[in-house]
Amino acid sequence: MFSSVTQADLRAQMEQHLLMVEEVLGGLDQFVQGLERRITRIEEGLGLEPEGLSASGWVAELQRLKAELAQLRRS
């Protein structure tokens, strides 16, 4: 069984497998980069920063609207 397989054949198969592994890793890298971009957009939209919430973004806007609504209800 193994006598018919030459070292050149084994080398060619190994190279082929390594190319497939590189393609998979490249695809995973692109997928992770896409996730990182989505996370960044969501964080920016929410107004999240390393220090906490910023004065901009969806959360800040929601807080402003809630305060305005509360003031309107008191009036």
pLDDT digits (tens, 9 = 90+) for 37-63: 999 999 888 888 778 777 788 888 888
Is the CB of residue 56 less than 8 Å from the CB of residue 46? no
For 62, other C-beta atoms within 10 Å of its C-beta total 12
Give per-residue burial for 12-26: e unless 16+ CB within 10 Å, then b.
eeeeeeeeeeeeeee
Whole-model pTM: value is 0.63
Domain boundaries, the chain: 2-74
For 15-20, what is the mean pLDDT? 97
- Name the amino acid, one letter, at 9: D
What integer pLDDT is reported at residue 1 of this predicted model?
Answer: 53
Query: Containing H/E element for 49?
Result: strand 48-49
